[in-house]
C-alpha cells in the first residue's frame, strides 16, 4: 500500500518507528516533498493518509481507503465521501486523545479567572499593589461549591468534570443521548443556565451546535458567570459575547478556540479585559507527536486485520 504521512513535527525517531511498523509498504512523508503540486500527487496516489491534509486534495484520491486525522476536529473532512468517487473512505480521528490536556487547560483558565491572575499579573508589571482593590470589589472566586454546566459528555467533558469535582464543584451535563446527562434539550439547558457559575463548552462543530451559545442564551447567564470554550469556535456568537460582557450579563470568558483562527488582529476579543485567550493550545502536551504515531500504528494493525478502527467518524452526525 501507498501510505502518505502528513503529520507536522515528526522527528527522525518517530519516522523510524513508522518505517519499522509499516514494513512492505511505500511510505511518503509530505515534509520531505517539495512544493504543493508534488504533495498533492502523494495524497492523490495514497491508499492511506495519516494527517490533516487540505480537504480539497482528497477529491482526487481515487484509491484512498482510510484517512487517519491527527486531530479530534473533523469539520473540513465531513463531505469527503460526497466530494469524490471511487472506494468508500473510512475517516478516523483522535477521539479520547486530548482529554487530559484540554481538561488541564480548562482548569488553568478557570483558576486564573477566579483568582484574578490577569489583573494581578498586569499589576505586577506596573508595580501596583492591588490587594485591597480586589478584596473590596469581591471578585476573587473559587471552584469549590461552584455550579457547573458542561456542554457535551464526551471524553473531554467527562475529564473536565472529574477535575472540577475533585475541587468540590457540582457538575451537570448537557447532552442529547448520554446517560450521564441531566439536561437533554435546549429548553432544559435554558432553564438551568441562570443557576450556573461556570458554563463549559466541549461540543464539536455540527449543524446542531453552530450558534448554540447565541445572544438570547447569553442573556440567561448569571452576571458573575464564567464561560469557557474548549470545544469549537462556531458554537459561540463572539459578537454577542462581547456585547454581553459590556452589558454586565456575565462575568468573563476563557476562550481556547475562536471562530476564525488565527484570530484577526482587529478582533475585540484580544483586548477585552474580561476575556482570557489561550489560542487553541489546550490540546498540546509533551510527547504528543510520539503518542499520535502510537495511535496510528495501533489503528493500522486493526486496519490490516480487518478489525473495527478506533475513532471512526460518522459524517452524518458530524463527529
As given in the structure block, the three cell numbers for residue 137 are: 470589589
Q: Which of 232, 272, 274, 317 is catalytic?
A: 232
Distance CA 314, CA 308 (A): 13
Q: Which CATH architecture has domain 99-277?
A: 3-Layer(aba) Sandwich (3.40)
Q: Which of 28, 95, 220, 280 is catalytic?
A: 280
* 265 CB-near residues (< 8 Å, 6+ apart): none
Each residue of 94-149: pLDDT tens digit?
Answer: 999 999 999 999 999 999 999 999 999 999 999 999 999 999 999 999 999 999 99
- Sorted by where each begins, the domain ranges of the chain are 2-95+286-305, 99-277
Q: If DSSP codes are grouped into helix, strand and coil, which group holds residue 53?
A: coil
Is the pTM for the entire model greater than 0.85? yes
Provide the pLDDT for residue 81: 62
Distance CA 226, CA 199 (A): 6
Q: Is 25 a catalytic residue?
A: no
- Where does the pLDDT of residue 316 fall: very low under 50, low under 70, confident under 90, or very high at 90 and above? confident
CATH code matching the domain that covers 2-95+286-305, chosen among 3.40.50.10320, 3.40.50.300, 3.40.50.9100, 3.40.50.720: 3.40.50.720
Q: Is 280 a catalytic residue?
A: yes
**Contact 183/192 with Cβ under 8 angstroms?**
yes
> Mean pLDDT throughout 212-236?
98
Amino acid at each position: 500500500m501507498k501510505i502518505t504521512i502528513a503529520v507536522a513535527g515528526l522527528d527522525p525517531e518517530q519516522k523510524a518507528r513508522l518505517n519499522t511498523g509499516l514494513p512492505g509498504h511505500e511510505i511518503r512523508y509530505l515534509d520531505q516533498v517539495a512544493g504543493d503540486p508534488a504533495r498533492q500527487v502523494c495524497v492523490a496516489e495514497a491508499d492511506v493518509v495519516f494527517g490533516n491534509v487540505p480537504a480539497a486534495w482528497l477529491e482526487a484520491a481515487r484509491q484512498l481507503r482510510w484517512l487517519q486525522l491527527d486531530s479530534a476536529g473533523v469539520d473540513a473532512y465531513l463531505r469527503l465521501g460526497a466530494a469524490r468517487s471511487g472506494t468508500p473512505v473510512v475517516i478516523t480521528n483522535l477521539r479520547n486523545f486530548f482529554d487530559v490536556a484540554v481538561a488541564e487547560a480548562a482548569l488553568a483558565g478557570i483558576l486564573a479567572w477566579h483568582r484574578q491572575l490577569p489583573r494581578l499579573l498586569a499589576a505586577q508589571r506596573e508595580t501596583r499593589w492591588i490587594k485591597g482593590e480586589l478584596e473590596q470589589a469581591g471578585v476573587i472566586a473559587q471552584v469549590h461549591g461552584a455550579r457547573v454546566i458542561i456542554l457535551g459528555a464526551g471524553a473531554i467533558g467527562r475529564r473536565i468534570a472529574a477535575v472540577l469535582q475533585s475541587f468540590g464543584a457540582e457538575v451537570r451535563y448537557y447532552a442529547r443521548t448520554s446517560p450521564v446527562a441531566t439536561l437533554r434539550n435546549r429548553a432544559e439547558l435554558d432553564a438551568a443556565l441562570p443557576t450556573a457559575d461556570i458554563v463549559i463548552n466541549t461540543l464539536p462543530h455540527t449543524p446542531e451546535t453552530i450558534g448554540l451559545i447565541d445572544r438570547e442564551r447569553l442573556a440567561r447567564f448569571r452576571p458573575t458567570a464564567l464561560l469557557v470554550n474548549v470545544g469549537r469556535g462556531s458554537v459561540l456568537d463572539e459578537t454577542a459575547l462581547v456585547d454581553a460582557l459590556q452589558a454586565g450579563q456575565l462575568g468573563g470568558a476563557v476562550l481556547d478556540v475562536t471562530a476564525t483562527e488565527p484570530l484577526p488582529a482587529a478582533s475585540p476579543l484580544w483586548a477585552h479585559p474580561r476575556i482570557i485567550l489561550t489560542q487553541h493550545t489546550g490540546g498540546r502536551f509533551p510527547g504528543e507527536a510520539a503518542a499520535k504515531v502510537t495511535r496510528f500504528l495501533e489503528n493500522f494493525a486493526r486496519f490490516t486485520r480487518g478489525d473495527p478502527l478506533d475513532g471512526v467518524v460518522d459524517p452524518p452526525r458530524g463527529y
